[in-house]
A and B are shown apart, each in its own frame.
Chain A
Amino acid sequence: MDMNAYLSMFIDESNDHLQSLNENLLRLESEPEELSIVQSIFRSAHTLKGMSATMGFEDLAALTHEMENVLDLVRNEKLKMDSFIFDTLFKGLDALEAMVQDIVGGGTGKADVTAIVASLQVILKSDYSPAKAAGQAQAPAAAAATSAVPLVAEEMLLDEYQSSVLLQSIESGHHVFHVQIAIRDSCLLKAVRAYMVFEVLERSGEVIKSNPSVQDIEQEKFDFSFAVFIVSNISKEELEAQILNISEIESAVVMALDKESLAELNAAPAAAAAETAAMEEALTAVQSPKEEQPVRPAAPAKAPASGAPAGGAAVASRTIRVDIERLDTLMNLFSEMLIDRVRLEQLASEIKRSDLTETVEHLSRVSSDLQSIVLKLRMVPVDSVFNRFPRMIRDLAKSLDKKIDLVITGADTELDRTVIDEIGDPLVHLLRNSVDHGLETIDERIAAGKPETGTIYLRAFHSGNHVFIEVEEDGRGINQEKVLQIAVKNGVVSEEAASRLSPDEINMLIFAPGFSTADKISDISGRGVGLDVVKSKITSLGGNVTVDSAAGRGSKFSVQLPLTLSIISAMLIKLGSEKYAIPLSSIVETGIIRKEQIVNVHGNRMIEFRNSIIPLVSLSKVLESPDYDENEEQETEIVVIRKGDKWAAVMVDEFIGQSEIVLKTLGKYLTNIEAISGATILGDGYVALIIDPNALIK
């Protein structure tokens, strides 16, 4: 069989599984008692093993197999996770990732994994035998416990209100059931099937609790099974038959509950606690030299059952993968069409034939719908960049011996793919910088009266036409004195200029080229190339980065990014014979001022605008306009623009109107033109330059 046809699918899915392995391992590290996470890790690993073996990547399969063995012991509570096991598993993951990357690059995915395999086997055998022996002693007890509360997962516990409702229902003679429903794993629209199940259930009674929650089920956030508690007025058999009537339902296990079993359910957490205590006791007890055999059989019996749903999980989402190049082509073609649309609109307004105008208007509406869809197609949740950070922070924290919590919010915020592709490296720089320079060591934090675990917040959110990404940490903050010293020493500013800088301006010095405040050079950050690269990269994306810091309380880096880099709304203006476009996203408002409203403050022209004095910028001077001079006019149109919280009024000749414009670069020959960020082609075929408002505000 020709495997090449499946290779790209294999690579995509392996990457998905590796990512979920990474995420789940991190989660498990913070909640080591949560065995359901181990289950999903095990499933991912198992699927990955199967896929790589099918594709003939033996090393990949072998390593996954060893990791799976360890996970299996953990899953069956025969092994307790500790930092050594976590580190080994993470190392294993890195090796797997490297192998998959090798396959992506056209390699065979071969790698020397003997070291990792050896340490995995150590975990499996010798060093961890005490735990194993204990597990063996404890296994029957665990088995007994599970049989007492069959099918009820830990998170399926009822709260007080729910159990009292159930209890009352039982007392008043209603049937109370626990129903475990499994949907066939070939089912494509499992949420729909689940919905049908709920409809049946609600027809005959009332659902008290469902796991996962109804919302999650509606959004397909469940594997192929879910469980509910239901108060019903029909019999167990009837209910079962009704549910099984729905197609694509694999099984429905209905268990009637009475007072005793309900009480048992509620006692389960207590039992679990007692069980752990018992297990720990067993751990400390001297191990008996019994055979390890009895422990093993449980594992293979369970493996196929849990492996099956995992295989189907990835298939069930209603998305298709599309080559990025095709999306780019679509975008380019659409841009061409947009230019023609504007041209058509212009022609229609000249020709003034009503049926032509109507058709063109319709075309315009359709094309603006099309535009929003084309742009949405290219939007990717910022999560695709964020998802590698938890792991990175964990490793950095370990190597620097710091304790760090990374709190990510807004990972579902969407950004244009072109921006996503570029934003990863700058964010890595910022995060590394926060870990290395921002957060103190544990001792320093305790000395400063802070909790020993530092927190880094990574937030993404929309605001207007921009997306903001913030990296905030509760570390030591920027040492302004030190920044000034180094800036002067490295010649970033002169001593004289330094004394006049505002605190904000001092903070911005850390973005200056050739600046580094780290006392010693580390391999994390601090080669002095970091932050100025970050700034220039973000600026080249049409964004902006600022820093806000309070000594002793931490710093916040705020990155502002445009939503998209390809089509923007802009105000077209005239300057004599020339036309320019100003991005609408930076325009606050437009207006007209008279000559006498202009005041001179310290040699600079200002105007009063909404109770504040803002600078007046002469666009014709900035752009060296050949045939327009606003000084000859009594009244001048102004555009009030904004950059962060700074405002300015820009004098223009005439407004043409608002329009959707397609961004074009000026090419490689013309780069870094002051106050110009690009060009666009107008409906009449002429090129208009796009003004960079940020350059107009000093």
Chain B
Amino acid sequence: MGEELKVIVFALGTEEYGIEVDKVRTIERLSPITRVPKTAAFIKGVINLRGVVVPVIDLRGRFNLTETVPTENSRIIVVAVADMEVGFIVDSANDVIDIDADAIDMPPEIVGGIKAKYLRGIARLGEGRLLIMLNLSEVLNKNEIIQLEQLEV
């Protein structure tokens, strides 16, 4: 038995993803987003989170999935990594589960179209259910965003 991990489970399309609970600040319903000009397309803008201005990115866009119109179930998961607070727009966030650290496998090269470096691993939850654990510092890697911006120009 490895270490127990508490994980927030959220969905993008048909796949389920996980972020450790201690990295998550809060989960919010969608609130009005102020667009920030001249930024990458997946950066949706900034929101007012109880007096603090927090940037919001669309995780679908970040992983090059097709972006969809937000629904009633859409949520903003605000994570805090290395002094940065960023909100992720996800299709839904509905569960907190305990998983065993031993149940996390190294990711195969390509999973669901997402580059392997964004992943920390894949957790088997039984009954064929797979949970993709995100590597947040890679997802929020700014150098890559700068490269992306330069490609767009």
Residues of A at the B interface (CB closer than 8 Å) are 335-336, 339, 578, 622-626, 664-671, 673-676, 679, 681, 685-689
Contact = CB atoms under 8 A, between A and B. Distances in A.
Interface residues of B, number: 23
Given A666-B55, A668-B84, A673-B37, 9 more contacts: A623-B37, A664-B52, A670-B43, A673-B38, A673-B39, A676-B37, A686-B48, A689-B34, A689-B37
Contacts, number: 71
B129 interface: no
A667 B85 contact: yes
Interface in B48-107: 48, 51-55, 83-86
B39 A670 contact: yes
Given A336-B51, A686-B48, A687-B53, A669 B37 contact: no
A667 B84 contact: yes
A339 B51 CA distance: 9
A626 B35 CA distance: 10
Contact of A669 (B34, B35, B47, B140): B140
A674 B149 CA distance: 13
Contact of A624 (B38, B47, B52, B140): B38
B125 interface: no
B37 A687 contact: no
A669 B53 contact: no
Nearest to B46: A687
B53 A578 contact: no
- Grouping DSSP codes into helix (H, G, I), strand (E, B) and loop, the A interface class, with mixed when no group exceeds half, is loop
By Cβ-Cβ distance, the 8 closest A-B pairs, closest first, are: A687-B34, A623-B37, A664-B53, A679-B53, A668-B84, A669-B55, A669-B84, A670-B55
A335 B46 CA distance: 19
A687 B38 contact: no
Given A666-B46, A667-B85, A673-B39, A686 B51 contact: no
B123 to A, nearest CB: 27
Given A668-B84, A669-B84, A681 B37 contact: no
B34 A679 contact: yes
Nearest to A578: B35
B34 to A, nearest CB: 4
A619 to B, nearest CB: 10
A675 B46 CA distance: 16
Contact of B83 (A622, A668, A685, A689): A668
B53 A665 contact: yes
A339 B45 CA distance: 20
Interface in B110-153: 140, 142
Contacts of A339: 51
Contacts of B5: none
A121 to B, nearest CB: 53
A656 to B, nearest CB: 15
14 contacts: A578-B35, A624-B37, A664-B53, A667-B54, A667-B84, A667-B86, A668-B84, A669-B140, A673-B36, A674-B37, A687-B47, A687-B48, A689-B34, A689-B46
Nearest to B140: A669
A668 B83 CA distance: 7
B32 interface: yes
A667 B52 CA distance: 9
A669 B36 CA distance: 12
B48 A681 contact: yes
Contacts of A578: 34-35
Nearest to A678: B53
Contact of A666 (B32, B36, B142): B36
Nearest to B142: A669
A269 B39 CA distance: 75
A688 B35 CA distance: 9
Contact of B37 (A335, A668, A671, A675): A675
Contacts of A335: 51
Contact of B46 (A622, A623, A671, A679): A679
Nearest to B50: A336
B77 to A, nearest CB: 14
Contacts of B32: 686
Nearest to A672: B146
B150 to A, nearest CB: 13
Contact of A670 (B46, B48, B52): B46
Contacts of B140: 669
Contacts of A687: 34, 45-48, 53
Contact of A681 (B53, B55, B83, B85): B53
B39 A667 contact: no
Nearest to B47: A687
Contacts of B55: 666-667, 669-670
Contacts of B85: 667, 669
Nearest to B54: A667
Contacts of A622: 37
A681 B53 CA distance: 8
A567 to B, nearest CB: 14
Given A669-B142, A670-B43, A670-B46, A689 B36 contact: yes
Contacts of A668: 83-84
A685 B43 CA distance: 20
A670 B35 contact: no
B48 A685 contact: yes
Nearest to B35: A578
A582 to B, nearest CB: 15
A278 B47 CA distance: 81
B106 to A, nearest CB: 28
Contacts of A689: 34, 36-37, 46
A671 B37 CA distance: 12
A674 B38 contact: yes
A670 B53 CA distance: 11
A578 B33 CA distance: 11
Contacts of A670: 36, 39, 43, 46, 55
A689 B36 CA distance: 8
Contacts of A685: 48
Nearest to A624: B37
A664 to B, nearest CB: 5
A674 to B, nearest CB: 5
A336 B48 CA distance: 12
A486 B55 CA distance: 42
A449 to B, nearest CB: 53
Contacts of B54: 667
A675 B38 CA distance: 9
Nearest to A626: B35
Contacts of A624: 37-38
A671 B39 CA distance: 10
Contacts of B53: 664-667, 679, 681, 687
A667 B79 CA distance: 13
A648 B55 CA distance: 31
Contacts of A673: 36-39
Nearest to B86: A669
B38 A688 contact: no
Contacts of A665: 53
A48 to B, nearest CB: 41
